[in-house]
Amino acid sequence: MCGILAVLGCTDNSQAKRSRVIELSRRLKHRGPDWSGLHCHGDCYLAHQRLAIVDPASGDQPLYNQDKTVVVTVNGEIYNHKELRAQLKSHTFRTGSDCEVIAHLYEEHGEDFVDMLDGMFSFVLLDTREKSFIAARDAIGITPLYIGWGLDGSVWFASEMKALSDDCERFMSFLPGHIYSSKQGALRRWYNPPWFSEQIPSSPYDPLALRKAFEKAVVKRLMTDVPFGVLLSGGLDSSLVAAVASRHLADSEAAQQWGSQLHTFCIGLKGSPDLRAAREVADYLRTRHHEFYFTVQEGIDALEEVIYHIETYDVTTVRASTPMFLMSRKIKSLGVKMVISGEGSDEIFGGYLYFHKAPNKEEFHQETCRKIKALHLYDCLRANKSTSAWGVEARVPFLDKEFINIAMSIDPEWKMIRPDLGRIEKWVLRNAFDDEKNPYLPKHILYRQKEQFSDGVGYSWIDGLKDHANKQVTDAMLMNASFIYPENTPTTKEAYYYRTIFEKFFPKNSARSTVPGGPSVACSTAKAVEWDAAWSKNLDPSGRAALGVHTAAYEETADTKAASQNNGAPQKPQGTLEKTATVA
């Protein structure tokens, strides 16, 4: 990941203003420690902090078209840049950077080129000929971007809030899948997939098509000129990423530089569920596995730094970001600059435990749509900012545009959790990789029930956070929380504690408004309560509190005993790779 900052249309173009832009851009240096650049043109400034992943030698930014009349600063990766270059035969490229195609595509197609990009990105492009600019963010919001406005009429864009919060009168999160054009002075949505309208899809489930799409998504993300690895918790999603990456690594360009053995990384308290499961998967896949440990106290000591970097006070996000933040520092110390991670699967396939209560396929599908649209506020934010804090880039194949379109076109009847048919959560994904002849994973790993990251690193982690917050926040403080924090009022001492830290770094109203309504409760959302009123009693976002769904559903029932006798997996119902003709 890189860090971008753009100030456009400011009234001050003095040396002092240039120095201020440089100073603010340095707040993003953790995102791009390898080089920095600044382009000034009249009343416009485009700054860049680079993390060199592709073409480290010549890909410094800002980037330009052939005559340097189009300038672009980009945070992200364009996986189809070679195909796009082939279509731009009349253009001369200066670097081997994957992001340089953006300037040339704009020159060729105008503002309507963004959907041609396959990747994760946020960029600002300045057209000096027309004295206009555009800014855009990728389809799901994998890369962060904020937009702000100054009193002098200037428009600001930055990868993180900290680079514009002091100088903008108002700012907000830039919406994923949108483009801002100075010609129109407004945001418009460029990403319009069929599923976005939440119409219920009806395509039959094709496990082989789903498998091939995911494998393609992982292979794309092996594009790198620097050392890399996979974040492996031992759960389904990260294990599938590691399994596919290890199969295809030998044939990738990366293997020519860094070898064909995949590196995997896991963190947890000693004895945690994730460490045990990840070690088992790593041994099965024969990866070069790295285990990192942290203590509850080390995590607590890092909280202020974590909240400064992730720029949110959301409870679930803070809990999960802290071990990821600590792990990223260890990963960077090994010389690794890019990792592949498993975010997004639970939103696409309804993997959260409250989906057990979905009353019908229509509501199931609509909830998955809502979760995907909110990813930029939660898991994408966590994965990006926790790793970028130490100059590490996180890539997420489950959020590949092509894969999402295929997965979200499946009739949601197939995604419904049906214990009577042996279908646990994310069964369509598990089944797609259940290959008897050439197994990707052992059965009991392939059918392992979800463990939230903040739980999987060690159950005492959350308990330790709560105990610490209880010591910092009094009953009187929480009782009067609505007066101190009338917007998104914290309802627990833990939430109150995180909010006080956030407010210290980001005191403006605009800053607190970038965080969605109060502490997110992954297993007690409004939809979960609507589906089953009993879930309203669960105020904690930990997956452990899933009211009889977690563990009991698949680890303590007769169904589980039967599964264990079948090498750890439920009996395969109709609709597997061998029999997919009808929807049960």
Domains 3-192 and 201-464+520-565 share a fold: no
Consult the annotation and say whether 55 binds a ligand. Answer: no
Consult the annotation and say whether 231 binds a ligand. Answer: yes
Half-sphere exposure of 392 (CA within 13 A, CB side): 29
Q: Coil, helix or strand for 571?
A: coil
Average pLDDT along the chain: 90
**Residue 44 annotated as catalytic:** no
Mention every residue, 6+ apart, whose C-beta is less than 8 A from residue 154: 7, 8, 9, 10, 11, 43
Consult the annotation and say whether 267 binds a ligand. Answer: yes
Asked whether residue 254 carries a pLDDT value surpassing 70, the answer given is yes
Model confidence pLDDT, tens digit, residues 3-37: 999 999 998 889 999 999 999 999 999 999 999 99
Peptide bond into 62 cis (omega under 30): yes
Asked whether residue 340 carries a pLDDT value surpassing 60, the answer given is yes
- pLDDT of 264: 98
Tally of CB atoms within 10 A around 557: 13
Rounded to whole angstroms, the Cα distance separating 67 from 328 reads 39
- pLDDT of 292: 97
Which position has the token pair 């295929």? Answer: 406
pLDDT tier at 458, thresholds 50, 70, 90: confident
560, burial (CB in 10 Å: exposed 0-12, middle 13-18, buried 19+): middle
> Which of 2, 10, 168, 523 is labelled catalytic?
2
Mention every residue, 6+ apart, whose C-beta is less than 8 A from residue 16: none
Where in the chain are the domains?
3-192, 201-464+520-565
Just give the CATH number of 3-192.
3.60.20.10
Can you state the angle between helices 315-333 and 303-310, rounded to 10 degrees?
100
Average pLDDT over residues 183-197: 92
Which position has the token pair 């492996």? Answer: 232
Rounded CA Rg of the chain: 23
Q: What architecture is the 201-464+520-565 domain classified under in CATH?
A: 3-Layer(aba) Sandwich (3.40)
Rounded to whole angstroms, the Cα distance separating 319 from 305 reads 13
Consult the annotation and say whether 127 binds a ligand. Answer: no
Higher pLDDT, 583 or 58: 58
Helices (H), 473-533: 475-479, 481-484, 493-505, 509-513, 526-531
197, burial (CB in 10 Å: exposed 0-12, middle 13-18, buried 19+): exposed
- pLDDT of 453: 53
Secondary structure E strands in 138-189: 146-149, 155-158, 170-173, 178-181, 186-189
Nearest alpha-carbon partner for 400 in 198, 139, 196, 578: 139
Rounded to whole angstroms, the Cα distance separating 112 from 539 reads 45
Pairing of the two strands 3-8 and 44-50:
antiparallel
Nearest alpha-carbon partner for 4 in 152, 121, 141: 121
pLDDT tier at 565, thresholds 50, 70, 90: very low
Mention every residue, 6+ apart, whose C-beta is less than 8 A from residue 197: none
pLDDT tier at 558, thresholds 50, 70, 90: very low
Nearest alpha-carbon partner for 465 in 248, 306, 243: 306
Q: Are 179 and 188 in contact (CB under 8 A)?
A: yes
Consult the annotation and say whether 341 binds a ligand. Answer: yes
